[in-house]
Chain A
């Protein structure tokens, strides 16, 4: 027989291959399969099984507890090409052929049959990933700014710390039954990282040559939201673990275990008062610190994750003197699509000659095929050989050499991932809404995608005065879509208009998530089918006011009642918007009363939420 010889493909590999981090455990997958069997045989109660299932990252699907949404934790949002390929395969086999980036740097697979969840987990373990403690009353995925390590304003890279904290609390006994879920976010600088809307938020800081953090406690978004408080001016590195432990212990001890609607730590802080809470934390921390021996302390090692960092010597070797004038150059809707993409999807890194490239998704959706192409692009063009997913539901490919930018664009283009606007107002965030969530009232997911494509069509991405503004949409008052930190935020509800039920969104203005984080202020209710028009009108009004400030600052002034021109306050702007939100009678325009993705009468249907098991 004649066998064709394989031609060995010479491949110029640009990136480093990361050693696999082991977050997942094989035995947990078997355990899950067995628990499902016992549950089906009615050997475990509904409640016990639900708690178990959530602890292992499987969330019940909308009105169908026999299907799961599998939430894959991506610690610090950092993901390898191999992991992306595996997720693509698993989605193709057991889910719906696409994956979804969440606002907490998780990747979610929807509509997986409960009986197949263990199979998905099995595949994830092969590439080091886990779903453990991704839902339920646990320490959720530990977030880290996707700019950490490359941000020109950061003091040091928080990523190794973020991963060390994630590792310390994963499967930690105290994380198994907290009063409620617990969220830890690391930032890189004052701008990026959502540190003030987390239970614990941390920004790298240096004092007297010592590394440490500025730590914010008690923030969080939800039906009632709070901005985190600064614990102290500076928390030295060696107090990082004891501070986090102290906070979780105080929450575990004093948190409300009775009222499910008010048991996040932010309520405890609010009810107790910040000063009292702060004292309790500092005292607890002292006790912890005093009773931890040096050798125990050493077990918490940040260095175990430092191997990932790209050394300066490698960078220096690759240094170039050229610079691309990207973000400073202004562009128009007539610019070439590549120029438009460069302008709205890339950011210069602190490492000279390197860029971070953003991959625009629609409300976090990406197909299996696209995931596979993305994996190849990362492997071929990112010096660090990994990507990060972002709370704006996009991917960031970092360490792309400037000479490779056009190649990366072309590759992204062939797989349908070259949409512009990732870093602009057009990249609307949307939770999963009625596509899969029990609590959702409206189809926020589809709406976010509709908003994105309309705004891209209008060329809002090339308008630099809109660039710093954001649009975020949730399908219910709970803030998975993070609507409260958006310049223009929306959360879904249902209202009777005339005598017909209609999906409506409450619109909020003026939220932000940097050092000066602020929660958006509710303005008015907008029928789902009028949201896009309202956004257009707001921008039109802003343009009419001939303001030199960007949209978000202008809106902030309006919220505060000191608008610089004719529109002074919220009442003024409402007068202009009111005609748009009026619907014609339902007999005349039945579709105005329907939600996106439905051609039947709107009915608000929800079931019990599962976050709090």
Chain B
């Protein structure tokens, strides 16, 4: 039954992909052809500007045209067992341990990312690791970064192109251009804590949030954001969740989670997708907040952990 259902879902998805494929193809061809003509005239290479979420068809088209850098952020051993065609391996740990903007730029250059080439990031952790990496790229100035709409497992289940060879690309040059508008640190979070138009969003699971959180934070657990087949729900669902919470579109939102900004990275993109313009990631998150000895809100009057069945 389980497998049957899964296959059914996949079939449905495949059909969906097919239809959107046809539509997109025409769009893409049109757009690319105009662009190519202009580019040709100007004699420069032009790249497609990707949205927040990159769908499967777009990525496959880009891979075929060799106009994309696909980034696999899973562990190296997983990458070696098979990855999306042309993908380079960049485990999240590398980003976390080399987190100065200069180091990130160097990493980008090493994997052959130049200023405008579209970058598509994927993982196997419901999008959270990919989101953290994508955010980092955008923070240091690689605006044209996008998240693959699904995880590697979904991609594999759909029977899409996988290869095992270790991809490397010629080193490039990349400009460092910090985007401070998407970054927050403890000091910044503290400065806006009583600001009416700023919302602090904690994206950890409910029980962790109830136990302790940064004062005034609202909880949007990452578990709300995606589905089994897609790292983020449709835009309208996400919009409704935000609306239900009374969060206004023109608010400034800062997301955080437990330690390194993965879950909140996904929340960052979910909010972006829902149409919130001003979203920031407090990448060092609650671990940093606690280490700094900042105040937190705790709730100890209920034994909610005892509801767990495991």
Give the 9 A-B residue pairs with the shortest CB-CB distance, closest first.
A4-B159, A365-B309, A597-B303, A446-B306, A62-B302, A379-B1, A115-B244, A367-B309, A115-B245
Q: Hey, which chain B residues are within 8 Å of A97, CB to CB? A: 205, 223, 308
Nearest Cβ distance between residue A50 and chain B, in whole angstroms? Answer: 19
- Asked if B99 is at the interface of the complex by the 8 Å CB criterion, the answer is no
Q: Is the CB of A436 within 8 A of B304?
A: yes
Nearest Cβ distance between residue B156 and chain A, in whole angstroms? Answer: 10
Known: A6-B11, A435-B302. A96 touches B310 (CB 8 A): no
Chain B residue at minimum C-beta to C-beta distance from A113: B219
- Asked if A223 is at the interface of the complex by the 8 Å CB criterion, the answer is no
Return the CB mask of B218-253 against A: 1 if under 8 Å, else 0: 010101100000000000000011001110000000
Cα distance, A468 to B239, chains bound together (Å): 53
- Asked if A380 is at the interface of the complex by the 8 Å CB criterion, the answer is yes
With a 10 A CB-CB cut-off, give which of B159, B240, B304 has the most chain A CB atoms. Answer: B304
Q: Which segment of A32-40, A186-194, A342-350, A536-544 sits at the interface?
A: A32-40
Q: Is the CB of B309 within 8 A of A446?
A: no
With a 10 A CB-CB cut-off, give which of B160, B245, B306 has the most chain A CB atoms. Answer: B306
Having A116-B224, A366-B309, one finds 17 other A-B pairs with CB under 8 Å, namely A1-B161, A4-B159, A6-B11, A6-B159, A33-B240, A40-B246, A41-B246, A62-B301, A63-B301, A64-B299, A100-B307, A110-B304, A111-B207, A365-B308, A379-B1, A595-B303, A597-B305
Known: A61-B302, A96-B206, A443-B303. A36 touches B244 (CB 8 A): yes
Return the CB mask of B288-308 against A: 1 if under 8 Å, else 0: 000000000001111111111
Cα distance, A36 to B307, chains bound together (Å): 26
- Asked if B187 is at the interface of the complex by the 8 Å CB criterion, the answer is no
Q: Hey, which chain B residues are within 8 Å of A362, CB to CB? A: 309
- Asked if A605 is at the interface of the complex by the 8 Å CB criterion, the answer is yes
Cα distance, A1 to B205, chains bound together (Å): 40
Instruction: Report B's interface with A, CB cutoff 8 A.
Output: 1-4, 7, 10-11, 60, 159-161, 205-207, 210, 219, 221, 223-224, 240-241, 244-246, 299-310
Known: A61-B302, A93-B224, A113-B219. A1 touches B244 (CB 8 A): no
Known: A6-B11, A37-B246. A98 touches B303 (CB 8 A): no
A-B contact pairs, 20 of them (CB 8 A): A2-B161, A6-B10, A8-B7, A9-B3, A64-B299, A93-B223, A96-B207, A96-B304, A98-B307, A111-B206, A111-B210, A111-B304, A111-B307, A116-B241, A376-B1, A435-B302, A436-B302, A596-B303, A598-B303, A605-B301
Q: Hey, which chain A residues are within 8 Å of B4, CB to CB? A: 9, 11
Cα distance, A201 to B192, chains bound together (Å): 59
Chain A residue at minimum C-beta to C-beta distance from B245: A115
Q: Hey, which chain A residues are within 8 Å of B245, CB to CB? A: 113, 115
Q: Hey, which chain B residues are within 8 Å of A446, CB to CB? A: 303, 306
Q: Is the CB of B306 within 8 A of A435?
A: yes
Q: Is the CB of A432 within 8 A of B307?
A: yes
Cα distance, A111 to B244, chains bound together (Å): 17
Cα distance, A416 to B245, chains bound together (Å): 36
Known: A6-B159, A376-B2. A98 touches B7 (CB 8 A): no
Return the CB mask of A19-49 against B: 1 if under 8 Å, else 0: 0000000000000010011001100000000
Known: A1-B161, A443-B303, A446-B303. A416 touches B2 (CB 8 A): no
- Asked if A433 is at the interface of the complex by the 8 Å CB criterion, the answer is yes
Q: Hey, which chain A residues are within 8 Å of B299, CB to CB? A: 64
Chain B residue at minimum C-beta to C-beta distance from A4: B159
Cα distance, A380 to B205, chains bound together (Å): 32
Q: Hey, which chain A residues are within 8 Å of B224, CB to CB? A: 93-94, 116
- Asked if A92 is at the interface of the complex by the 8 Å CB criterion, the answer is yes
Nearest Cβ distance between residue B86 and chain A, in whole angstroms? Answer: 14
Cα distance, A81 to B306, chains bound together (Å): 26
With a 10 A CB-CB cut-off, give which of B160, B223, B246, B300 has the most chain A CB atoms. Answer: B223
Q: Hey, which chain B residues are within 8 Å of A81, CB to CB? A: 1
Q: Hey, which chain A residues are within 8 Å of B207, CB to CB? A: 96, 111
Nearest Cβ distance between residue A95 and chain B, in whole angstroms? Answer: 7
Instruction: Report A's interface with B, CB cutoff 8 A.
Output: 1-6, 8-9, 11, 13, 33, 36-37, 40-41, 61-64, 81, 92-98, 100, 110-111, 113, 115-116, 118-119, 361-362, 365-367, 370, 372, 375-376, 379-380, 416, 432-436, 443, 445-446, 449, 595-598, 600, 605
Q: Is the CB of A96 within 8 A of B302?
A: no
Q: Is the CB of B223 within 8 A of A435?
A: no
Chain B residue at minimum C-beta to C-beta distance from A430: B306
Chain A residue at minimum C-beta to C-beta distance from B60: A1
Q: Hey, which chain A residues are within 8 Å of B305, CB to CB? A: 597
Q: Hey, which chain A residues are within 8 Å of B3, CB to CB? A: 9, 11
Known: A6-B159, A97-B205, A436-B304. A37 touches B309 (CB 8 A): no
Nearest Cβ distance between residue A130 and chain B, in whole angstroms? Answer: 20
Q: Hey, which chain B residues are within 8 Å of A361, CB to CB? A: 309
Chain A residue at minimum C-beta to C-beta distance from B3: A9
Q: Hey, which chain B residues are within 8 Å of A376, CB to CB? A: 1-2
Chain A residue at minimum C-beta to C-beta distance from B303: A597
Q: Hey, which chain B residues are within 8 Å of A375, CB to CB? A: 1
With a 10 A CB-CB cut-off, give which of A11, A13, A367 has the most chain B CB atoms. Answer: A11
Q: Hey, which chain B residues are within 8 Å of A443, CB to CB? A: 303, 306
Chain A residue at minimum C-beta to C-beta distance from B306: A446
- Which of B11, B300, B307 makes the CB contact (< 8 A) with A110? B307
Q: Hey, which chain A residues are within 8 Å of B244, CB to CB? A: 33, 36-37, 115-116, 118-119
Q: Is the CB of A434 within 8 A of B309?
A: no
Q: Hey, which chain A residues are within 8 Å of B241, CB to CB? A: 115-116, 119
Q: Hey, which chain B residues are within 8 Å of A113, CB to CB? A: 206, 219, 245
Known: A40-B246, A111-B207, A116-B241. A380 touches B303 (CB 8 A): no
Cα distance, A111 to B307, chains bound together (Å): 10
Nearest Cβ distance between residue B270 and chain A, in whole angstroms? Answer: 13
Q: Hey, which chain B residues are within 8 Å of A370, CB to CB? A: 309
Q: Is the CB of B307 within 8 A of A436?
A: yes
Nearest Cβ distance between residue B38 and chain A, in whole angstroms? Answer: 29
Nearest Cβ distance between residue B248 and chain A, in whole angstroms? Answer: 12
Q: Hey, which chain A residues are within 8 Å of B161, CB to CB? A: 1-2
Q: Hey, which chain A residues are within 8 Å of B306, CB to CB? A: 435, 443, 445-446, 449, 596-597
Q: Is the CB of B301 within 8 A of A96?
A: no
Q: Hey, which chain B residues are within 8 Å of A100, CB to CB? A: 307
Nearest Cβ distance between residue A435 and chain B, in whole angstroms? Answer: 5
Q: Is the CB of A416 within 8 A of B310?
A: yes
Q: Hey, which chain A residues are within 8 Å of B210, CB to CB? A: 111
Cα distance, A170 to B160, chains bound together (Å): 49
Chain A residue at minimum C-beta to C-beta distance from B226: A93
With a 10 A CB-CB cut-off, give which of A33, A64, A113, A596 has the most chain B CB atoms. Answer: A113
Q: Hey, which chain B residues are within 8 Å of A5, CB to CB? A: 159
Q: Hey, which chain A residues are within 8 Å of B304, CB to CB? A: 96, 110-111, 435-436
Cα distance, A596 to B307, chains bound together (Å): 13
Q: Is the CB of B302 within 8 A of A64?
A: yes
Cα distance, A329 to B229, chains bound together (Å): 48
Cα distance, A433 to B303, chains bound together (Å): 9
Cα distance, A597 to B300, chains bound together (Å): 11
Cα distance, A37 to B299, chains bound together (Å): 25
Cα distance, A379 to B305, chains bound together (Å): 31
Nearest Cβ distance between residue B198 and chain A, in whole angstroms? Answer: 18
Chain B residue at minimum C-beta to C-beta distance from A377: B1
Cα distance, A61 to B299, chains bound together (Å): 12
Q: Is the CB of B1 within 8 A of A11?
A: yes
Q: Hey, which chain B residues are within 8 Å of A93, CB to CB? A: 221, 223-224
Chain A residue at minimum C-beta to C-beta distance from B302: A62
Cα distance, A37 to B224, chains bound together (Å): 20
Nearest Cβ distance between residue A486 and chain B, in whole angstroms? Answer: 21
Cα distance, A119 to B236, chains bound together (Å): 13
Q: Is the CB of A98 within 8 A of B1?
A: no
- Which of A4, A9, A372 makes the CB contact (< 8 A) with B7? A9
Nearest Cβ distance between residue A422 and chain B, in whole angstroms? Answer: 15
- Which of B60, B159, B160, B308 makes the CB contact (< 8 A) with A96? B308
Q: Hey, which chain B residues are within 8 Å of A92, CB to CB? A: 223
Known: A2-B161, A81-B1. A434 touches B303 (CB 8 A): yes
